[in-house]
Amino acid sequence: MALPGILRHWFPIRRDLPHGRRLVLTVVSFLLPLAVWAMVSYVPWIWHPDIKIQVSAEREGVTTVFTAGDHVSRGFFPEFVEAVRQENAAVEAARAAGSPESGVKRKNQKLLRQIAPVAVENGWLPYEEGQNDDKIYAIWRDLATGEKAAVHPPLSPENLAVVKANWATLSALSPEFSYRQLPDEPLLKLVPQGVPANPVYLPAPHEVWKAGLRDFTAEAPEGEPTMGDRYVHSLRIIISGFLWSCLIGIPLGILCGVFDFFSKLLEPFVDFFRYMPAPTFSTLLVAVLLAGDAPKVALVFIGTVFQMVLVVAKTTKLLDPSLLEAAQTLGAKPRQMVTRVVIPGILPNLYNDLRILLGWAWTWLVIAELIGVKSGLTEFIETQGRFRNFDRVFPVIILIGVTGFVTDQILAWFHGVLFPWAGKSGKLSRAVADAVMWPVRTVVAGARERIAADEQDREARRLSRFSPQTERP
């Protein structure tokens, strides 16, 4: 297909694309940023300013301790590796001279646990058993004898030699773990291993997936909420605040859109108040409503209700004036015009306004859950971010985005079901609307038939009273 033909098919001027092409572009809109994220994360020569440590070791005389999963700069990592190698060389030299250091059982116990992250990554040790000394001791044995081979990450030949040398020392004293049987002289340290990585604030996609899967499937410690509990709590905050906003904002917006009296009375103050940042009221809300969920719901309410009044008022004012004029001509009273003309007339557009405003409410979730007693998903984000566990932060951020997007798409689909006359319904939504409305239409049709039959019966009786009576013989 020639280029002009492609342009005509994919770039029509002021015309909608076919459904299939629109679906393709929707999928691509999500795949493109994911592809960029993956390319930055997995192609080493593009951008990897850090080294992510996979196997670590403690250095003597240095207070900073690096563990598996930590990030260090590319310039510092070779220095870290060389320092550990020198310490191992010093241990071997002391052994050869017959004057090794003594009284280091505790250090040796900590050194053995350095293999735990490798064991967890390879599935040999559950995450919550990272300090199970009996199992860790057996893993050293299996690695040394070749019964186990590390794959994620693979141990370097240098580290395999360290494992075999340490196990030779350990097995000579005890084949099973016993703190009393640990050697009294230093063992060799594992040499740090690492891979090029993004900065700590941008973990790779697979790291985000693994951390999210672990957090959302693991049992929470006693007394702490699970991730499911946090999620439900956050949903409750959003829904409660938005419902209160709808109960207040929609009626006021309709009144402002219909009556100039309410427009001039309310809109100037509402327009002024909406420029005040809602978080500035957090301290006041906690003082008035105490430190539970009430101030969080109130913050979502304050963050959305003033915009809702103005948006609903604008939508109401855009109603076709001819509808109001026709109702006035037919003698409708003000209350009837509002309930029978204005509200039904603005419902399709009002529904879309509420969809947009619900997305606005989600933007206040993080701020709302930080006031008073921290709670919900935001507490988890704030806690993990403080410890720089960004691989555990991203799944929660993505979950919030997915929840908002899926909710919006479901509500958009229901627009075609609830308002098929608005011209934005597809075949499926029209079919659902027909199925949902069929019982109602059946009842209405039956009622109309009964009313028509009653009218005919009354008309027949009325005519029979005026017909000439037949004389009796």
Same domain, yes or no, for 240 and 345? yes
Given 153, 175, 197, which residue is the final one in a domain?
197
Distances (CA, A) of 66 to 53, 192, 343, 359, 400: 8, 10, 64, 41, 32
Mean pLDDT of 191-219: 91
* pLDDT tens digit sequence for 243-278: 999 999 999 999 999 999 999 999 999 999 989 888
For the ranges 51-60, 191-200, 264-273, 411-420, the lowest mean pLDDT is seen at: 411-420
Look at strands 71-73 and 193-197 and give their pairing.
unpaired
State the total domains in the chain.
3
Same domain, yes or no, for 186 and 61? yes
Residue 473: predicted pLDDT: 46
- As a whole number, the mean pLDDT across the chain is 86
Same domain, yes or no, for 277 and 365? yes
- The helix/strand count (H/E) of the chain reads as 19, 3
Under the banding of pLDDT at 50, 70 and 90, the label for residue 308 is very high
The tokens for 152 are: 């994620």
Q: Let me know if residue 411 belongs to a domain.
A: no
Same domain, yes or no, for 23 and 81? no
Residue 472 has pLDDT above 50, yes or no: no
Same domain, yes or no, for 332 and 254? yes
- Give the residue numbers spanning the domain of 186: 51-197
Q: Let me know if residue 22 belongs to a domain.
A: yes
SS3 334: helix
Given 309, 344, 374, which residue is the final one in a domain?
374
DSSP 320: -
Under the banding of pLDDT at 50, 70 and 90, the label for residue 13 is confident
Same domain, yes or no, for 250 and 302? yes
Q: Let me know if residue 453 belongs to a domain.
A: no
End-to-end CA distance of the chain: 97
pTM of the model: 0.75
Q: Let me know if residue 421 belongs to a domain.
A: no
Please spell the DSSP secondary structure of 385-426, one letter per residue.
HHTT-HHHHHHHHHHHHHHHHHHHHHHHHHHHHH-GGGS---
For 193, residues 6+ apart whose C-beta sits below 8 A from its C-beta are 53, 54, 55, 153, 155, 156, 159
Same domain, yes or no, for 92 and 20? no
Under the banding of pLDDT at 50, 70 and 90, the label for residue 443 is low
Under the banding of pLDDT at 50, 70 and 90, the label for residue 440 is very low
Residue 19 has pLDDT above 90, yes or no: no
Same domain, yes or no, for 169 and 292? no
Same domain, yes or no, for 102 and 144? yes
Q: Let me know if residue 141 belongs to a domain.
A: yes
Mean pLDDT of 214-237: 90
* pLDDT tens digit sequence for 452-465: 777 777 777 777 76
Q: Let me know if residue 439 belongs to a domain.
A: no
Q: Let me know if residue 207 belongs to a domain.
A: no
DSSP 181: G
SS3 435: helix
Same domain, yes or no, for 359 and 344? yes
Same domain, yes or no, for 72 and 24? no
Residue 162: predicted pLDDT: 95
Given 374, 402, 420, which residue is the final one in a domain?
374
Residue 32: predicted pLDDT: 95
The domain that contains 302 carries what CATH number? 1.10.3720.10
Same domain, yes or no, for 73 and 140? yes
* pLDDT tens digit sequence for 169-179: 999 999 999 98
DSSP 115: G
Residue 384 contacts residue 201 (beta carbons within 8 Å): no
Q: Who has greater pLDDT, 39 or 465?
A: 39
Residue 143 has pLDDT above 50, yes or no: yes
Q: Let me know if residue 286 belongs to a domain.
A: yes
Give the C-alpha separation, 236 to 293, whole Å. Answer: 9
